[in-house]
């Protein structure tokens, strides 16, 4: 079976790529999601630093009531003129000629509407057959390298069993090592307990553990949203739980948020807040730290934030926290890192994707 961490691709430390003689074989996955709506912000594939990326997860395809997997924005995905191609999806695929290490995976699901039909589809034999057949058709039609199941999320043990069955049927249709089968899973044990992870991992090459959104507008107090250490939840505790369920470490990909969550009216974690700054309480990482604020790195927690200005307390990852997380990946022999999402990253020394890649592959 294909191993995410053993994917052999060539290092491209800068764009344009260096001479072939300077290529190195990396050991770790450095994957990134690209949400299709970012094309409307003039961020086509050609504008992204893809030389550090092993897998692009193109988000999202959705699921109809009858189980059919379909592209959520036909205009953006397949019709709009993008980088000389018809649609953003084809634009990514054509870049595989330039970035021979890169694999393009179609992510199915996501929050809200994207996942609302998963439970019924996975429970019905006929709908599941339609799901698998239509997913494979999209992979073949656009020359993709696999499917990422982003069902957010199985809500009980019955759905957990159906989720594993869905993965097994997809694996039959997308055999390894030709195709990648990945999944994105929540970090909380409260949700993961519904899934037999030991059974699920048999069909999967990559488990993208969403080790972020630990804090947000659903809580009354502000806290770190992606801390590596601490309570009640952290990247470390989430990985530890998944390992205890029998998942090989190399299949676990640790998630990094490329955005910050804002809490107005407070100056740090553990405080009640008065509201949210940014767009729906979120700032792109490229917009951080906020003007005139102080950026603070909490090494003990493996977290960072800025305080002041129009964001109040904004919790996010920085190069310092990503270095720490990349070190955790290598010391724990995990598969690598993934980022939500690439279009929010900065360039140069503040790039989270480049920092993660370079740290994991330091000689």
User: Which residues belong to the active site?
Assistant: 152
Nearest alpha carbon to residue 315 among 221, 241, 251, 187: 221
Q: In this structure, what are the phi and psi dihedrals at residue 95, rounded to the nearest 5 degrees?
A: -75, -10
Roughly what angle, to the nearest 10 degrees, separates helices 125-142 and 157-173?
Answer: 40
Q: Give residues with Cβ within 8 angstroms of 174, minimum separation 6.
A: 135, 136, 139, 146, 147, 180, 181
Nearest alpha carbon to residue 118 among 83, 167, 49, 174: 167
**Residue 265 to residue 281: CA distance in whole angstroms:** 13
Estimate the share of the chain in helix, then strand, then coil, as percent rounded to the nearest 5: 35, 25, 40
Residue 139: both structure tokens together: 């992979």
Nearest alpha carbon to residue 259 among 316, 200, 212, 208: 316
């Amino acid at each position: 079976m294909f191993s995410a961490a053993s994917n052999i691709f060539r290092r491209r430390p800068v764009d344009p790529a260096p001479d072939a003689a300077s290529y190195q074989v990396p050991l770790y996955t450095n994957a990134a999601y690209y949400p299709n709506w970012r094309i409307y912000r003039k961020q086509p594939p050609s504008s992204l630093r893809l030389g550090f990326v092993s897998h692009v997860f193109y988000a999202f395809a959705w699921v109809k009531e009858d189980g059919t997997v379909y592209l959520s924005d036909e205009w953006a995905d397949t019709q709009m003129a993008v980088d000389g191609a018809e649609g953003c999806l084809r634009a990514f695929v054509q870049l595989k000629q330039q970035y021979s290490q890169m694999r393009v995976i179609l992510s199915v699901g996501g929050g809200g509407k994207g996942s609302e039909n998963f439970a019924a589809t996975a429970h019905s034999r006929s709908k599941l057959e339609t799901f698998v057949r239509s997913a494979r058709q999209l992979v073949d039609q656009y020359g993709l390298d696999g499917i990422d199941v982003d069902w957010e999320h199985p809500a009980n043990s019955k759905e957990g069993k159906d989720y594993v069955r869905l993965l097994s049927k997809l694996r039959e249709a997308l055999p390894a090592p030709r195709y990648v089968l990945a999944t994105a899973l929540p970090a909380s044990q409260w949700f993961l307990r519904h899934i037999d992870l030991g059974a699920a991992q048999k069909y999967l090459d990559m488990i993208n553990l969403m080790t972020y959104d630990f804090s947000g507008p659903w809580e009354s107090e502000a806290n770190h949203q992606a801390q590596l250490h601490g309570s009640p939840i952290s990247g470390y505790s989430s990985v530890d739980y998944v390992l205890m369920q029998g998942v090989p470490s190399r299949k676990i990909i640790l998630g990094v948020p490329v955005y910050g969550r804002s809490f107005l009216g407070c100056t740090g974690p553990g405080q009640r807040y008065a509201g949210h700054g940014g767009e729906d309480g979120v700032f792109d990482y490229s917009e951080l730290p906020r003007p005139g604020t102080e950026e603070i790195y909490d090494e003990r927690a493996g977290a960072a934030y800025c305080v002041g200005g129009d964001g109040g307390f904004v919790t996010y990852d920085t190069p310092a926290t990503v270095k720490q997380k990349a070190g955790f990946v290598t010391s724990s022999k995990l598969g690598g890192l993934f980022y939500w999402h690439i279009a929010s990253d900065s360039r140069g020394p503040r790039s989270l994707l480049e920092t993660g890649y370079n740290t994991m592959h330091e000689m």
